[in-house]
Amino acid sequence: MESSLPAALPQSPTPKAPSPEVSIIVPARNEEASLGACLESLSTQTGVTFEIIVVDDDSTDCTREIAESFARVRVISPDPLRENPAGKTSTGKNRALITGVKEARAQWLLFTDADTVHLPGSLARALNEAEREQADLLSYSPEQVVVTFAEKAVMPVIFAELAARYPPHKVRDQASEIVAANGQYILVRRAAYDAVGGHAGVATEILDDVALARLFRDVGYRVYFRYGRDAVRTRMYRTWPQLREGWTKNLALLFPRARFLVFQSLLWWLAAWSALIIAASGVASGHFLWIAFTALWLFPYRRIHQAHFATATNLAAIAFGPPIFAYLLMRSKKAHSSGHVSWKGRLHSTGTASKNASLGATRPSRKAESQKLRAES
């Protein structure tokens, strides 16, 4: 008697998970002190679908273990460092971001640092703002948390100078010659990002955030930049060695006219202290001129107030910050002139320092290329 097994039922294909609206990419190298708070704030975002990709950049501490402890986080390793055809090697952060983008599935990409903390609902609000402003790249300058004396003294001075050199309202003006972004929070439209070449197009740049914004602006994509205290905060450096190394890497690129800026900063610092001493003498002698000299402090305070720090921190920065800023700026200039800067145990070539330093300068917009890229997108 012939017997046969029942035919197997056809298996229905496993449905694919719907693509998220935003892919969050966090490069992390030895970030055990801050990564947990960052991922907690990202994992609890509401009002938008998202995925979180942490790229563990060869960490030697507990960074990977911390990232893997979050159920909603996917942890990957970056591709090997390779030289480009010009013989230059990508920076570690750019390599990590490029790897993260390859794994991302969303039409919007958020690049954010491991030392950031994101306010509840900020991701959905940022996405809505980018769409409302028709921005292809939206970047926030986070609220800066300062704790130690060195942080309080120098961070307001640096961010006040950044606000003066890269005013957000001018960056938002598409006709402006000034362009900037803050790598701690960059939200981009994937189609535009791919069209300009993304981080692969700035892979060897130390100042990758400004370079990326320049790529977008040069071909006519809209860059939107503002202070983002309502969305994100960060503590960039927790120790003096970290602060010194970090700003040594970046300051000469952000402020190419280093010597002039050093002279200017020290001049108004000396003027502020001189005015205070004269005012104190006037108070002791009962002379009314002390009022006028005290008022001179309003000028440096007005400038440093642009950095969005507390009043007490601003006063400490006016009193002690400019000499520290001058030291860091000249240290940065010297390091870049030598051809190398270090960051987190790696040595980076500064062979393109002159080009990086001019990123905020004028360059004509290639409108024809812009129209082509938009059509392709």
- What would the mean pLDDT of 226-236 be, rounded to a whole number? 97
> Can you list the positions of beta strands (E) in 65-175?
73-76, 108-112, 116-118, 137-141, 143-144
Q: Which residues are CB-neighbours of 156 under 8 A, at least 6 positions away?
A: 146, 304, 307, 309, 313, 314, 317, 321
pLDDT digits (tens, 9 = 90+) for 238-272: 999 999 999 999 999 999 899 999 999 998 888 87
pLDDT of residue 17: 67
Residue 141 has pLDDT above 80, yes or no: yes
What is the distance in angstroms between the CA of the first residue and the CA of the last residue of the chain? 66
Exposure string for 94-108, b = 16+ CB within 10 A, e = fewer? bbbbbbbbeebebeb
Among 6-10, 326-330, 370-374, name the one with the lowest average pLDDT. Answer: 370-374
Among 76-85, 131-140, 172-181, name the one with the lowest average pLDDT. Answer: 76-85
Domains of the chain, start order? 22-145+166-238+364-376 (3.90.550.10), 252-357 (no CATH)
Alpha carbon distance 214, 196 (integer Å): 10
pLDDT of residue 14: 53
The encoded tokens of residue 199 equal 């981080």
Question: What are the phi and psi torsion angles at 274 (to 5°)?
Answer: -60, -45
Question: What are the phi and psi torsion angles at 110 (to 5°)?
Answer: -110, 115
| Amino acid type, 315 | L
pLDDT of residue 282: 61
Spatial contact of 258 and 329, defined as CB atoms under 8 Å apart: yes
The encoded tokens of residue 296 equal 């001179």
Spatial contact of 266 and 219, defined as CB atoms under 8 Å apart: no
Burial of 36 per CB tally in 10 Å (0-12, 13-18, 19+): middle
Residue 279 has pLDDT above 70, yes or no: no
Provide the pLDDT confidence category of residue 377 given band limits of 50, 70 and 90: very low
Provide the pLDDT confidence category of residue 345 given band limits of 50, 70 and 90: confident
Q: Which pTM was predicted?
A: 0.85
pLDDT of residue 361: 38
pLDDT digits (tens, 9 = 90+) for 164-201: 999 999 999 988 889 999 999 999 999 999 999 999 99
Q: Which helix (H) or strand (E) holds 161?
A: helix 149-165
pLDDT of residue 64: 96
pLDDT of residue 143: 97
